[in-house]
Chains A and B, each alone.
Chain A
Amino acid sequence: MKHLGELQSRFQKFILEPGNEHRISWVDGGGRASAGYQLSVYANAYVARLKEVLTNDYPALSMAISGDHFDLLTEGYIRKHPSHFFSLRDFGCRFPDYLSEQVDPNPDIHDLAWLAELAKFEWTLGQAFDAADCNLVTEREVASIPADAWPMLRFGFCPCVRRIDLEWNVPTIWKALTADPPLEVESICTQTHNDAWLIWRQDLVTRFRSLEEDEQLALDSLRYGATFEDACEILASRINLDSVSMRAAGLLKGWIRQGLITEVIPAS
């Protein structure tokens, strides 16, 4: 008699590697369908279910390479990275990295170097979608801070705030592919530099926009705990010194209005 653990291991092995087990005597053949067919229902449903999850999590990607190529890539991912998660929400987390590994050796997608970036962009949108809610700082609260406290202020940012750098015009590709009906779009590599993008959620709507270089540097430094004075020094290295105060105030006002800032932390 086989123990529970052995039965579960065999069953799981059949689902993960269908066709590799020739003797399935542990399945009762008394049902209407053959034992092999009964088991194949589970094996087929496993792949179909996870493909559907990836299609839902990566809608633009599934449009970009619909059909056989998408099926092969998703099945390859499903076989290589079975789920360790209790929620299907997290299953597709390694898909962007998997695509990065696949682009070079796979002749079918060799000329689609932007695929992994598109996947990374879509996954980041998903992370912003259900990140934690926060109480946000208002302009009025910030206006009441005394002038001499400003240099040493630090800021807390909403967990939905994400930053990614892109080599390709992926946001344009994403918008075109998720339009109804989808639009034609050309992939363009920026070649010389990465474009900085901000992704966040405001009023339940996931948003994204590009960042100027000075805003990106100031935002990144503040998110990693720099003071307002540190951020102003970064701005001073990029723009005219006379414009720094105005630029810093303008950026901060924009971030508050866009719902990025949750906390103003005075010097300890």
Chain B
Amino acid sequence: MNESVGIQRPFLGYGLGLRRQHYDDVLESRPDVDWFEIISENYMVDGGKPLHYLSRIRERYPMVMHGVSMSIGSIEPLDYTYLKKLKELIERVEPMWFSDHLCWTGVNKLNLHDLLPLPYTEEALDHVVERITRVQDYLGRQMLLENVSSYISYSESQLSEWEFLREVVERADCLVLLDINNIYVSAYNHNFDPSDFVRAMPSERIYQIHLAGHTQEENLIIDTHDHPIADPVYELYAEAIQRFGRVSTMIERDDNIPPLADLLRELDRVRRIGETSFEDQVA
């Protein structure tokens, strides 16, 4: 079913996560990448190479910002020191948008530096919605919220993950960064149909898509971002585009990082599938 009729979301094209291993290559070869996503925390420094390359690459490419430490689902108070730095970086980069994850990263003033899943309960729903509203008020703009991969589910959960995500974004009036690989990983780990997740998403709020590789273990898939995108993830991506229409899409690669040329070839495949699926939808 085509859910995208009348939707006017911005479409940036096909992008990559900016990684330091590729800084010089990007500046020297000006690759055919429509936009880059940066990890916000990597640039919350005072100066030096990270900010030097950020500015030079930003002059040449559109950017979006992606955070990993907001801990929007934690019971800890919101960290306004962090949010202030985020705000300053947003002012510096002027990204098309910024995102973080529907997760928590620690309690008792600790950061486990992981994207830990939330129980899908009414209590968690109210908690997260209230915090997103405060963050959006403080930063003066809507945020994108990403679904995470998970390896556990809680006995306490009352909703499915997709019901929970949809409720959160609609009540908080925020946008969605849909990670197709994360849907696939969690669907395998928790025995659900990934298409159910995709079909439940509010099309008008989906502003960005992440694609990435994963690692298959015996009874679990781990979201490692250290391999090329797997074929079933491409299939789910095609299904998503047929449903939502064109969505700004990018590849996340965080480990075992290949030369830029390899990622560009992978991005060509993403682009072909994205455009073909969109044409199928229009037809």
Contacts and interface: CB of A to CB of B under 8 A. Distances in A.
Interface residues of B, number: 50
Given A8-B116, A38-B152, 7 more contacts: A4-B121, A11-B116, A28-B152, A87-B44, A130-B48, A130-B51, A160-B47
A4 B106 contact: no
B123 interface: yes
A148 B106 CA distance: 59
Contacts of A32: 188-191, 219-220
Contacts of A82: 110, 112
B82 interface: yes
Interface residues of A, number: 49
Given A32-B191, A82-B110, A83-B110, A8 B74 contact: yes
Contact of A204 (B52, B82, B118): B52
B107 to A, nearest CB: 5
Interface in A1-30: 1-5, 7-9, 11-12, 15-16, 25-28, 30
Interface stretch (B134-142, B153-161, B228-236, B266-274): B153-161
Interface stretch (A44-52, A94-102, A174-182): A44-52
15 contacts: A8-B75, A8-B104, A9-B108, A16-B110, A28-B157, A30-B190, A32-B188, A83-B111, A86-B44, A89-B42, A91-B113, A130-B49, A131-B46, A133-B48, A201-B48
B196 interface: no
Interface of B: 41-42, 44-52, 69, 74-75, 79, 81-82, 85, 104, 106-114, 116, 118-119, 121, 123-124, 127, 151-157, 188-191, 218-220, 222
A130 B111 contact: no
Nearest to B76: A8
A109 B50 CA distance: 35
A160 B45 CA distance: 12
5 nearest CB pairs, A to B: A133-B47, A132-B46, A130-B48, A130-B45, A33-B219
Contacts of A3: 123
B113 A50 contact: yes
A26 B151 CA distance: 14
Contacts of B51: 130, 133
Contacts of A201: 48
Nearest to A24: B152
The secondary structure that dominates the B interface is loop
A38 B189 CA distance: 9
Given A12-B107, A86-B82, A39 B152 contact: yes
A5 B127 CA distance: 11
Interface of A: 1-5, 7-9, 11-12, 15-16, 25-28, 30-33, 35, 37-39, 41-42, 45-46, 49-50, 82-89, 91, 129-134, 159-160, 201, 204
Contacts of A39: 151-152
Nearest to B106: A12
Contact of B156 (A2, A30, A38): A2
Given A83-B113, A204-B49, A28 B69 contact: no
A124 to B, nearest CB: 14
Contacts of A129: 48-49
Contact of A33 (B106, B109, B157, B220): B220
A85 B152 contact: no
B161 to A, nearest CB: 12
Contacts of B74: 8
A35 B48 contact: no
B152 to A, nearest CB: 4
